[in-house]
Amino acid sequence: MMPPSPSFANFGLQLLEPSPLTTPEASVPENPVFRAGSPEGPRRTRMTHYRAVFKSQQISSYVFTGFLGIHWFTTGILPLVSNPEAVDNSLLLSRVLYQNEFIEPCIVLGSVGTHVLSGVALRVIRRAQQYKNFDQIIWFKDLNILQGTGYLLIPTVAIHFGIIRLLPFLKDGGSESIGIKFLGHGFVQLRYLSWLIYPTLAVASTFHVVQGWARWQGYPKRWKSPTACLIAIVSGVWLASIVRISRIGRAVGHLGRHYDELYNAVLSFSWV
């Protein structure tokens, strides 16, 4: 025989009839996560800023790739298949596209500046979060090859821009006389600097752009071999073009003397 079931009254409990919940919404306590002044608010703000900086770096890389494609064609492919005069004429035509009062400061310089500054800002944001979480900062120990080539390109691009664009602008008011012959003259006048800067530019910029695009597009690991082949082809064409340009030699006549003055200004730092 089963023992009698215990009554609710034996435990001090009372059986109630079910009834709907009539508590008004206003009386429900506010979730502390969304309360004003909670840590979630500043965290969301930081994430919004991070996404904005990240997006600006991504978009600026897309913009600059267009210019770099034109530059690779005129300074990489044409010197291998044409004579210096034809290459200089092609350079003059291509400069109409990107060396004007609007496109150069906005599209070329603006995209490069935005990409560099946003990249530095992203690293500062990550290091600040690292310091907040672990009370330590590791600035460059975790650099990968993609980031390393980006930082390597900052001084090399600055030197290249200073010699090819800024110096002729300060001395002559423009770069109409600057072309492949000027680069060939530089391999004689500034031999070691030229062989240091231009091969570094060719390899580092190719790797950074191609690998960066693969990262932005989220290509899987099976694309690693095609990406490496593309980097080898593009940088190989550029390196072969650099070797051919270096064999042009010193310019002669009035043009050669003018190039001597420009490169001597680089050595003496007398740009104005």
Write out pLDDT tens, residues 113-124: 999 999 999 888
pLDDT at residue 30, rounded to an integer: 46
pLDDT at residue 92, rounded to an integer: 81
Q: For residues 66 and 157, which has the higher predicted lDDT (pLDDT)?
A: 157
pLDDT at residue 215, rounded to an integer: 86
**What is the band of 32 on the pLDDT scale with cuts at 50, 70, 90?**
very low
**Quick check: 75 and 242 in contact, CB under 8 A?**
no
Sequence-distant contacts of 142-149: CB under 8 A, at least 24 apart: 145/207, 145/211, 146/207, 146/208, 146/211, 146/212, 146/215, 147/119, 149/204, 149/205, 149/207, 149/208
- The amino acid present at 87, given as its one-letter code, is V
pLDDT at 50 > cutoff 90: no
Q: Residue 258 and residue 190: Cα distance in Å, rounded?
A: 15
**What is the band of 184 on the pLDDT scale with cuts at 50, 70, 90?**
very high
Tell me, yes or no, if the pTM score tops 0.95: no
The predicted-structure confidence for 233-266, as pLDDT tens digits, reads as follows 999 999 999 999 999 999 989 999 999 999 998 8
**Quick check: 32 and 38 in contact, CB under 8 A?**
yes
Question: What average pLDDT does the chain have?
Answer: 82
Domains (range + CATH), the chain: 43-268 (1.20.1300)
